[in-house]
Amino acid sequence: MNPSLPRAEAVAVRDDRIVEVGTLDSLRPWLDAHEYRIDDRFADCVLTPGFIDPHLHPSMAAVLLPMHFVTAMEWKLPWGRVAPTTTPTAFDQRLSELDAEIAPNETLYVWGYHQLWHGPMHRARIDSIVANRPVVVWHRSFHELYMNAKALTWLGITESAVGNRQQIDLIKGHFYENGLGYAINQLNPHILSPERYADGLERLKQVVHAGGHTTIADMATGLFDFDREWQAMKDVLDTDDTPFRTELIVHATRLRQGGKTDAEALALADALVERNTHRLRFDKRIKLFADGAFFSLLAQVGEPGYIDGHRGEWLTPPELLHDMARTYWNAGYRIHLHVTGDLGVELGLDVLQRLQFERPRFNHGFTFEHFGFSTPEQIKRIRALGANVSANVYYLHELSDIYALEGIGYERASQMARLGSCFREGIMTTLHSDFTMAPAEPLNSAWVAVNRINCEGHQMAATECLTSEQALAAITINAAHVIGRADDIGSIRAGKKADFTVLGADPLTCDPLELKDIPVQGTVFEGNVFPLS
Amino acid sequence: MIPVTVIGGYLGAGKTTLINRILSATTTPLAVLVNDFGALGIDAELIDRANASVMELTNGCVCCTIQDDLGGALESIRGSDVHHVIIEASGVALPKKVAQYGHTWPGYCPGGVAVLVDVVHIQRLRRDKFVKHLVDQQLQQADLLLLSKTDLADPPAEITRYGKRTVDLQNVTEFDWLLQLKPSPNPEQIADHVHFIATELTEKISLEPVEVRRFLEQNPQIRRAKGWFRDGNGDQWHLQAVADTCAIEPSVARPTSLVFIHLADTQIDLECLVKGAH
């Protein structure tokens, strides 16, 4: 990803940094001047710059990963592949197997149930399979769950405690929408317990390594509880055996909690860098929020809106967003703005345009995060105002089919993640997983961006496909630019950190349809090899 | 069961000011769930005990911050001896959605939804490209509209379009009526019953009897209409209309007030009537 030297045969590393890239011959002056050892264990592999995911959520992953996956889709997890479970019988069978596998006094948490594959779920059905331990079955969407009788008793959820409430069906053990909030409240002490959370972060560590990352960015530190998250990250992600660094971008709304003014919140943000360790790093970066969740159809979309006429939502009132953004803009921060719909992008652009008018900045790093829907005209404005784009391209794979039918229609659904246009305009553009929203596999994100094939196998807006080179840049050097670390990571050149991802095939010459299946054989983080079996 | 009243309205509508006024005036032990204490500016002498998320006041009230966990806040006060809960919806929230959350939480029952309207800024907000739909939905979802900043401007005519009861908050000193507010039936939930709503006109404008008559003819969805108005000559009239019969008769002086009763799933455009009036 160094355009001046796109390919090389050898790289010389001293301690944690690259000293020279080229061929063994061209490296000779360095080798003659210093002691060296040639490590050719990757002679048959391809080394790329270490992959960077510039937007995921370790805290959400820490909650989800300790659960048992029983899913209709295949999941590749480091501790085992989760085979698809596609029938009601197979689902029950899997529950029964899990019951036999886990310790007798353990609660069984299952994630991934979906009625289209697994049939109607209810308390009696779970009881008939597992009656002697609490069982909690989460829906794939996370928006509903079911419990067996033992779980209800365990949590003290009784008829008299709950009464006759909407969205809680005790007979079925079903909790959804508002009822789900009640269930989660009762479950929180258990699913957020320090041991379980630490176990979840350990699993995240394995997932991040398996994806081939050497850098990740936690794009909303403080999502649940700042101090608890920070302590757990120090305990788990700041150890010598962690094969990656974590860049922390703090959640701006959390900083204002307790009635703090913007100036007080800024002072708190400024002080965070004093906590930096070798692998955990704050910087002048802040996360702000515009419109609602893409998966929940709460993105703010412009005319003509959603097919059914419902409206998206704002996570921050536009005026407040202006004020918060101004505080950090004037203090020289890089602003990462969560936007999902084109009206969200429009608000971000209006905010940025006003800030540029009031106090012009160059290379300011203002980044549109997620970038679900957009318009071609907005691409020009993003370029003109000097902003970046960090896209969750997996939206296109998972949702473009259903959103074409039931959300906003084919034209706009097929053009979600308008990334070809971004590259044509020269916008600094990267890809992220937003894990746990999408698999934390950069090659999978690259595969979607290059092929734009959705879950039904249809190619959507071929004009917006990236080339393999663009996609590889997106998950390495462009990601480094977007998080403000391009001087140190993201490409293989003299002076940078010795971070590499070791691949079994060349992503630039392989069939683009095979990108997601290239084996990640290991990583090198700051000169240390971390193999993957 | 503790009743839950929701106070909604867009950013800057005056929610915090209102809650502060309610807390100073109330004789009922209330729990108030707010987005932020800081903004409330409670007098230090009123505060009995406080930590980061709960503040107990000397008058028996409790304030809790919501901090993205309304359920947690409701759970923390369930079983305490407050008699009523007031939730301050965030400026970008849909108040009915917040109300439904409160009303379906175990231990609570429905109160009304009051939405604040800043009469100075409402017209601008109803045209703003980012929030026009949101503000419109917030007003539609109200059981009662509370008008703020009426000392600075008159309520614009478009507020009457929503067909909601309105209360001018200026000079209001006690708020028990707000706690007694009941949710109006949701037309969506009772679609299989015939249901009527009322749209009111209370602006100080003059109308001609012939205009009122024509308006009723042009809006057959109006089943009943009644009230008083004044014409351009200053004469007072009393209106009484049921189905096809319409009586407009001279009357004693009364403030202008017209009520139109129509099917809940229909709308009437008062603008047609107000236009041309003085």
Does any domain span residue B190? no
Q: Are residues A251 and A376 in the same domain?
A: yes
Sign of the CA dihedral with A301 first, then A307, A309, and A310 last: negative
Q: Are residues B172 and B238 in the same domain?
A: no
Asked if B70 lies within 8 A of A181 by C-beta distance, the reply is yes
Q: To the nearest whole angstrom, how far is the Cα of B235 from the nearest Cα of chain A?
A: 46
- Tell me the residues of chain B between 127 and 166 that have a Cβ less than 8 Å away from chain A: 128-131, 133-134, 137
Asked if A260 lies within 8 A of B100 by C-beta distance, the reply is no
Does any domain span residue B185? no
Which residue in the set A165, A256, A258 is minimally distant from B52, CB to CB?
A258
Q: Are residues B237 and B124 in the same domain?
A: no
Q: Are residues A484 and A349 in the same domain?
A: yes
Please say if the pLDDT value at position B193 is more than 60: no
Q: Are residues A15 and A98 in the same domain?
A: no
Q: To the nearest whole angstrom, how far is the Cα of A182 from the nearest Cα of chain B?
A: 6
Does any domain span residue B171? yes
Q: How many domains is chain A partitioned into structurally?
A: 3
Does any domain span residue B93? yes
pLDDT at position B195 is 59
Which residue in the set B38, B72, B107 is minimally distant from A185, CB to CB?
B72
Q: Are residues A30 and A165 in the same domain?
A: no
pLDDT at position B100 is 84
Check residues B240 and A227 and name the one with the higher pLDDT.
Answer: A227
Which residues neighbour B228 within 8 Å (Cβ) at sequence distance 6 or greater? B236, B237, B238, B239, B251, B254, B255, B256, B257, B258
Does any domain span residue A77? yes
How far apart (Å, rounded) are the C-alpha atoms in residues A485 and A53? 13
Q: Are residues A228 and A243 in the same domain?
A: yes
Q: For the ranges A78-87, A89-98, A266-275, A488-497, which has the lowest average pLDDT?
A: A78-87
How far apart (Å, rounded) are the C-alpha atoms in residues B178 and B160? 20
Highest mean pLDDT among A145-154, B55-64, B171-180, B211-220: A145-154
Q: Are residues A359 and A217 in the same domain?
A: yes
pLDDT at position A269 is 96
Picking from A325, A318, A506, A345, the residue whose alpha carbon sits closest to that of residue A422 is A345
Tokens coding A162: 């709950």
The residue-averaged pLDDT of A464-475 equals: 98
Q: Are residues A91 and A215 in the same domain?
A: no
Determine how many CB atoms are found less than 10 A away from the CB of residue A507: 23
Closest-CA residue of chain B to A182: B71
pLDDT at position B276 is 59
Asked if residues B173 and B25 have their Cβ atoms less than 8 Å apart, the reply is: yes
Among B179, B208, B241, where does a domain finish? Answer: B179
Q: Are residues B90 and B145 in the same domain?
A: yes
Q: Are residues A139 and A237 in the same domain?
A: no
Does any domain span residue B113? yes
How far apart (Å, rounded) are the C-alpha atoms in residues A454 and B113? 43
Does any domain span residue A47? no
Q: Are residues A362 and A336 in the same domain?
A: yes
Tokens coding A223: 């999502």
Please say if the pLDDT value at position B59 is more than 70: yes
Could you tell me the pTM of the whole model?
Answer: 0.82
* Helix A342-358 / helix A318-330 crossing angle, nearest 10 deg: 40
Which residues neighbour B151 within 8 Å (Cβ) at sequence distance 6 or greater? B170
Among B117, B150, B179, where does a domain finish? Answer: B179
Does any domain span residue B39? yes
Query: Which residues face A338 on adjacent strands?
Result: A289, A369
Closest-CA residue of chain B to A159: B106
Is residue A28 less than 8 Å (CB to CB) from chain B? no
Asked if residues B44 and B63 have their Cβ atoms less than 8 Å apart, the reply is: no
Q: Are residues B174 and B218 in the same domain?
A: no
The residue-averaged pLDDT of A84-102 equals: 95
Is residue B108 less than 8 Å (CB to CB) from chain A? no
Tokens coding B219: 């809006």
Q: Are residues A310 and A423 in the same domain?
A: yes
Specify the DSSP element, H or E, that contains A532.
Answer: none
- Predicted confidence (pLDDT) per residue in A435-453, tens digit: 988 899 999 999 999 999 9
The residue-averaged pLDDT of B91-99 equals: 91
DSSP state of A272: G
Phi (first) and psi of residue B56, to 5 degrees: -100, 130
Asked if B94 lies within 8 A of A179 by C-beta distance, the reply is no
- Tell me the residues of chain A between 313 and 332 that have a Cβ less than 8 Å away from chain B: 313-320
Q: To the nearest whole angstrom, how far is the Cα of A261 from the nearest Cα of chain B?
A: 9
pLDDT at position B191 is 33
Asked if B38 lies within 8 A of A258 by C-beta distance, the reply is yes
Which residues neighbour A128 within 8 Å (Cβ) at sequence distance 6 or greater? none
Please say if the pLDDT value at position B167 is more than 90: yes
Q: To the nearest whole angstrom, how far is the Cα of B52 from the nearest Cα of chain A?
A: 7
User: DSSP letter string over A211-257?
Assistant: TTEEEEEEEEETSS-HHHHHHHHHHHTSSTT--SEEEEEEEHHHHTT
Q: How many domains is chain B partitioned into structurally?
A: 2
Is residue A189 less than 8 Å (CB to CB) from chain B? no
Q: Are residues B158 and B231 in the same domain?
A: no
Which residues neighbour B212 within 8 Å (Cβ) at sequence distance 6 or greater? B229, B237, B239, B248, B258, B273
- Predicted confidence (pLDDT) per residue in A504-529, tens digit: 999 999 999 999 999 999 999 999 99
Q: To the nearest whole percent, how much of chain B has pLDDT over 70?
A: 92
Q: Are residues B137 and B241 in the same domain?
A: no
Does any domain span residue A53? no
Q: To the nearest whole angstrom, how far is the Cα of A456 from the nearest Cα of chain B?
A: 34
Does any domain span residue B186? no
Does any domain span residue B94? yes
Q: Are residues B255 and B172 in the same domain?
A: no
- Tell me the residues of chain B between 229 and 248 that have a Cβ less than 8 Å away from chain A: none
A161 contacts on B by Cβ (under 8 Å): 106
pLDDT at position B3 is 92
What confidence tier does B124 reach under pLDDT thresholds 50, 70, 90?
A: very high
The residue-averaged pLDDT of B235-240 equals: 86
- Predicted confidence (pLDDT) per residue in A280-299, tens digit: 999 999 999 999 988 878 89
B101 contacts on A by Cβ (under 8 Å): 178, 181
Choose the mutation target among A152, A165, A178 for the interface with B, i.e. most B CBs under 10 Å.
Answer: A178
Choose the mutation target among B130, B138, B186 for the interface with A, i.e. most A CBs under 10 Å.
Answer: B130
Asked if residues A17 and A496 have their Cβ atoms less than 8 Å apart, the reply is: yes
Tokens coding B170: 């200026």
Is residue B52 less than 8 Å (CB to CB) from chain A? yes
Choose the mutation target among B34, B92, B137 for the interface with A, i.e. most A CBs under 10 Å.
Answer: B92
- Predicted confidence (pLDDT) per residue in B201-213, tens digit: 877 788 888 888 8
Asked if residues A58 and A187 have their Cβ atoms less than 8 Å apart, the reply is: no
In this prediction, the answer to ipTM > 0.85 reads: no
Say which CATH number the domain at B26 has: 3.40.50.300
Check residues B182 and A351 and name the one with the higher pLDDT.
Answer: A351
Q: Are residues A104 and A216 in the same domain?
A: no
Please say if the pLDDT value at position B231 is more than 60: yes
Query: Which residues face B141 on adjacent strands?
Result: none
Which residue in the set A185, A311, A347 is minimally distant from B133, CB to CB?
A311
Among A174, A191, A208, where does a domain finish? Answer: A191
Closest-CA residue of chain A to B67: A257
How far apart (Å, rounded) are the C-alpha atoms in residues A521 and A17? 21
Please say if the pLDDT value at position B101 is more than 70: yes
Check residues B146 and B109 and name the one with the higher pLDDT.
Answer: B146
Does any domain span residue A54? no
Asked if A162 lies within 8 A of B91 by C-beta distance, the reply is no
Average per-residue pLDDT in chain A? Answer: 94
The residue-averaged pLDDT of B22-42 equals: 83
What confidence tier does B196 reach under pLDDT thresholds 50, 70, 90?
A: low
Q: Are residues A179 and A203 in the same domain?
A: no
Q: How many C-alpha atoms does B128 have within 13 Å on its Cβ side?
A: 19
Q: Are residues B166 and B235 in the same domain?
A: no
Picking from A148, A186, A155, the residue whose alpha carbon sits closest to that of residue A170 is A148
Does any domain span residue A57? no
Does any domain span residue A31? yes
For residue B207, give its domain range.
196-274
pLDDT at position B186 is 57
pLDDT at position A165 is 66
Which residue in the set A178, A185, A318 is minimally distant from B104, CB to CB?
A178
Tokens coding A174: 């079903």
pLDDT at position B213 is 86
- Predicted confidence (pLDDT) per residue in A149-200, tens digit: 999 999 999 887 776 666 788 889 999 877 888 888 889 889 888 999 999 9
Q: Are residues B175 and B202 in the same domain?
A: no
The residue-averaged pLDDT of A383-407 equals: 94
Q: For the ranges A209-218, A221-230, A235-244, which has the lowest average pLDDT?
A: A221-230
Is residue A162 less than 8 Å (CB to CB) from chain B? yes
Q: Are residues B172 and B70 in the same domain?
A: yes
Q: How many C-alpha atoms does B53 have within 13 Å on its Cβ side?
A: 10
Is residue B249 less than 8 Å (CB to CB) from chain A? no
Picking from A175, A195, A194, the residue whose alpha carbon sits closest to that of residue A186 is A175
What confidence tier does A478 reach under pLDDT thresholds 50, 70, 90?
A: very high
**Token match 């503040």: residue?**
B55
Q: For the ranges A183-187, A315-319, B139-143, which has the lowest average pLDDT?
A: A183-187
Does any domain span residue A90? yes
Does any domain span residue A48? no
Check residues A296 and A456 and name the one with the higher pLDDT.
Answer: A456
B107 contacts on A by Cβ (under 8 Å): 163
A163 contacts on B by Cβ (under 8 Å): 106-107
How far apart (Å, rounded) are the C-alpha atoms in residues B148 and B14? 7
Among B179, B207, B233, where does a domain finish? Answer: B179
What confidence tier does B190 reach under pLDDT thresholds 50, 70, 90?
A: very low
Asked if A313 lies within 8 A of B100 by C-beta distance, the reply is no
Q: Are residues B244 and B127 in the same domain?
A: no
Among A149, A164, A191, where does a domain finish? Answer: A191
Q: Are residues B157 and B240 in the same domain?
A: no
For residue A91, give its domain range.
63-191
Is residue A289 less than 8 Å (CB to CB) from chain B? no
User: CA separation (Å) from A375 to A174, A281, A303, A411?
Assistant: 40, 35, 11, 11
Picking from B5, B28, B14, the residue whose alpha carbon sits closest to that of residue B176 is B28
B72 contacts on A by Cβ (under 8 Å): 185
